[in-house]
Amino acid sequence: MIRRTVEISREPCHLAVRDGQLLILRREEPPRRLPAHPLNLAASIPLEDLGVLMVDERETTYTHSVLAQLAEHGTALVVCGRDHAPCGMFLPLSTNTNILSRLDAQLAASRPVRKRLWSAIVAAKIRAQAANLPHAPAVRSRLLSLARRVRSGDPDNTEAHAARLYWPAMFNDLRAVTPPFRRRPGAPDAQPPNNLLDYGYAALRAAVARAIVSAGLLPALGIRHHHRANPFCLADDLVEPLRPLVDARARTLAAEGRLWLDQPTKAELLLLLTATVRMGDRSGPLQVAATAYAASFARALEGGPDLLEIPVREDQCPAGGAGVAPADKGGDEADDGCI
């Protein structure tokens, strides 16, 4: 089932629950006991339909029951700060019946397995970046060449080399963007569309983190990211090959001159979670595919990196499997199928 992504940013609200429904109440007066038909009811949404709840209105208030029942229904709550960028996330504890075996697999994963999984993720990310550049065929060709040369663990930092080629080609040709475009994550004074990218990445990260928990995995235990203060290292790993999906939507918005995070622009970015992607011979919404992606990662930890399945744009060329680099040699033998 496709779950909804809801954003609250237009006016102060009070959130409550009743009969399995999230009630969004306009803050016309202090919260009180709810009548049967509240006059200030702005919306009522079944909790079971919610996947991600984004709150960007600073005066929003919550009952304890809202937080508890959002968690019970598997919804990720994302809270935005003063700059309207997401600054916090509330996730449910996993109810996956395989949670102990999945945690054992995470903890027992050998270094060669982690390195091969990371090389698959990097190669998939670079291929996805190349798919965003039909308007820059020379750069696209160079990125595809780099993707084929990713070695186990990416010791050559191919991801960074690809980024230096990708970002100027992605945005410098747009009239609304002042060249040279530089990707500056989280910088409040960074040139647009950095703001669009940050917002879209945060929503995507929340959806991936939710999928990781649903798969019975520990989101803090990553394969490449490992900062001790980051509780979502694995989400930051798995989100990498999906970031170009946000990039493509940000480019479309920037081409239309929509460079600021007003409500319609944020809504367009959030709709990405329902966009159609492909995994192998299957197509479906990104939010559903993220769950399958996290489950495939869990299988790959136990059965081998070749089991990893990464969602790609529906129009992206077949990637020849996950593109996992051999354990003791480069990834040149792995054909990405896109040339």
Query: 178 Cβ partners below 8 Å, 6+ apart?
Result: 191
Measured CA to CA, the distance from residue 136 to residue 144 in angstroms comes to 12
**pLDDT > 80? residue 318:** no
How far is it, in rounded angstroms, from Cα 261 to Cα 193? Answer: 10
Pairwise CA distance, residues 56 & 84, whole Å: 6
Share of the chain above pLDDT 90, in %: 55
Q: For the whole model, what pTM was predicted?
A: 0.81
Q: What is the pLDDT of residue 177?
A: 94
| pLDDT band, residue 337 (cuts 50/70/90) | very low
Q: Which of the pair, 107 or 82, is modelled with greater confidence?
A: 107
pLDDT of residue 335: 33
CA atoms of 148 and 334, how far apart (whole Å): 6
The per-residue pLDDT for 323 is 42
Question: Can you tell me the distance from the alpha carbon of 19 to that of 40, in angstroms, rounded to the nearest whole number?
Answer: 18
Given a cut of 60, is residue 331 above it in pLDDT?
no
Q: What distance lies between CA 322 and its chain's CA centroid? A: 18
pLDDT at 30 (0 to 100): 60
Q: What is the pLDDT of residues 137-175, one digit of tens each?
A: 999 999 999 999 999 999 999 999 999 999 999 999 999
Q: Is the pLDDT of residue 37 over 90?
A: no
φ and ψ at 282, to 5 degrees? -115, 145
Task: Specify the pLDDT at position 28.
Answer: 62
Residue pair 322/310 in contact (Cβ under 8 Å)? The answer is yes
Domains of the chain: residue spans and CATH: 4-90 (3.100.10.20), 99-313 (1.20.120.920)
- pLDDT, residue 52, reads 87
Q: What is the pLDDT of residues 87-132, one digit of tens each?
A: 888 887 766 667 788 889 999 999 999 999 999 999 999 999 999 9
Q: Which residues contact 79 (CB under 8 A, 6 or more apart)?
A: 55, 86, 87, 88, 89, 90
Most confident of 3-7, 50-54, 259-263: 259-263
Question: Omega of the bond prior to 180 within 30 degrees of 0, cis?
Answer: yes
What percent of the chain stands above pLDDT 70? Answer: 89
The three-class DSSP label of residue 44 is: strand
> From edge to edge, which strands make up the β-sheet containing 276-279?
282-285, 276-279, 312-313
How many whole angstroms from its chain centre is CA 211? Answer: 10
Q: What is the pLDDT of residues 253-307, one digit of tens each?
A: 999 999 999 989 999 999 999 999 999 889 999 999 999 999 999 999 988 889 9
Provide the 10 A C-beta neighbour count for residue 107: 10
- Whether the predicted pLDDT of 56 surpasses 70: yes
The rounded mean pLDDT for the chain is 86
Residues 130 and 146 sit within 8 Å (Cβ to Cβ): no
Q: What is the pLDDT of residue 51?
A: 85
Tell me the pLDDT band of 315, cut-offs 50, 70 and 90.
confident
Q: Is 248 helix (H, G, I), strand (E, B) or coil?
A: helix
Tokens representing 213 are 């928990």
| pLDDT > 90? residue 26 | no
Distance, CA of 255 to CA of 9 (rounded, Å): 25
Q: What is the pLDDT of residue 7?
A: 85
> φ and ψ at 283, to 5 degrees?
-125, 150
Please state the φ and ψ torsions of residue 317, each to the nearest 5 degrees.
-65, 150
Residue type, 62: Y
Give the CA count within 13 Å in the CB-facing half-sphere of 308: 26
Residue 17 confidence (pLDDT) above 50: yes
Q: What mean pLDDT is predicted for residues 219-239? A: 89
